[in-house]
Homo-oligomer: A and B are copies of this chain.
Amino acid sequence: MARFFKKREANRGQSPGALIFIGEQKVETVQCHLISYNNLDLKEIPLNPASIKMEVQQCGSEQITWLNVNGLHDIDIIRDIGHLFDIHPLVLEDILNTGQRPKLEEFDNFFFIVMKMVRFDKEKQMIVNEQLSMIVGGGFLLSFQERPGDVFEPVRERIRKHKGRIRNSGSDYLSYAMMDSVVDNYIYIVERLGEKIEDLEEEILAGPNSGVMEKINIFKRELNYLRKSIRPAREAIAQISRLDNDLIHEQSIPFFKDLTDLVTHVTEAIDTYQDLLTDQLNIYNSVVGNRLNDIMKVLTVFSAIFIPLTFIAGIYGTNFDYLPELHYKYSYFILWGVMLVIAGLLVMFFKRKGWF
């Protein structure tokens, strides 16, 4: 089961820009949702895909139009939206390919950004990601998700309640607010994973047990998965704050810089936790090695002391007719004496070696 690299066999041999959905279908029917707002007005409607064109054209040109699409398996809808907003076919291809690497691309009339939303899937007991593609143009923002449910409810709430500066700002600020939500969620996920990793330390020093090792393994894999999902986004977000583009307003720059900072923080935390895990595995191996030494010392001390003594007893257990020592009066007591001396010498020898 390939989790780190999405199957895109369907794409082989296709002409570039061919619209082919790559991923698993995660929603029954495509759901569209439109918010159109400016400082004064607000319109919010769930859309029938068939009426997208009509509804969008009714939005005033002074307004910010945010069209969100959940579900990517219906290629016709994607193609229609593409025509409506004049989107390059390669962009549409990338939207449909959910194994896309996070990135930023600049076009004449919009910029295009791909990120991964991550969440912990309780059923599979692993982190899963969902691709978020955003097209940010002058006065509009198109967002595409693989399934319903996202981290943008607080953003919608701020739009509805006219909170903060969002209603007074452009589509660039809206895209910032959305990416900020995504990154906040990265932080939340890394935090929770990190806490578990830091707690592992005690368990490791408590001694070898295969549960610890399995946890280290799982955490390493999940961190790898997170890094793969998150790290390329840093570069993409940093690029936005350096875009020399009318779409990005002067007063939005500090926000994008702040976001760059945040995502840098997350990726550094991931690196730190990976280093911690590597250290923990090394320590764990040393603990196992130490423990083996302890075990072998016990075995060796027992064996080395009793094996010679047993040999001596064996000698006097033989049934030779002529075995003179058997008939001396004090032989038995001498035997014990000799054995105690031998044992004592061996104990001293092992003590001196520090094996006790």
Contact = CB atoms under 8 A, between A and B. Distances in A.
A292 B293 contact: yes
A18 to B, nearest CB: 7
Copies, count: 5
Contacts of A314: 309-310, 313-314, 317
A304 interface: yes
Interface residues of A, number: 128
Interface string A262-286: 0011001100110110010111111
Nearest to A330: B322
A255 B276 CA distance: 36
Per DSSP, are chain A's interface residues mostly helix, strand or loop, or mixed?
Answer: helix
Contacts of A199: 1
Contacts of A59: none
Contacts of A244: none
Contacts of A327: 321
Pick the 5 closest A-B CB pairs, nearest first: A13-B154, A313-B314, A15-B164, A316-B318, A299-B300
Given A5-B269, A319-B319, 18 more contacts: A4-B273, A4-B276, A9-B188, A11-B184, A12-B188, A13-B184, A17-B164, A17-B165, A88-B254, A90-B255, A101-B265, A105-B257, A232-B268, A289-B289, A296-B296, A307-B307, A319-B323, A320-B326
Nearest to A323: B332
Interface in A246-265: 254-255, 257-258, 261, 264-265
A138 interface: no
Given A18-B164, A299-B303, A285 B286 contact: yes
30 contacts: A4-B273, A5-B194, A13-B153, A13-B181, A14-B154, A15-B177, A16-B176, A16-B180, A94-B258, A101-B265, A101-B268, A207-B354, A210-B287, A213-B283, A217-B279, A217-B283, A221-B276, A224-B276, A224-B279, A281-B282, A299-B304, A302-B304, A302-B307, A307-B307, A307-B310, A310-B311, A316-B320, A317-B318, A322-B329, A322-B332
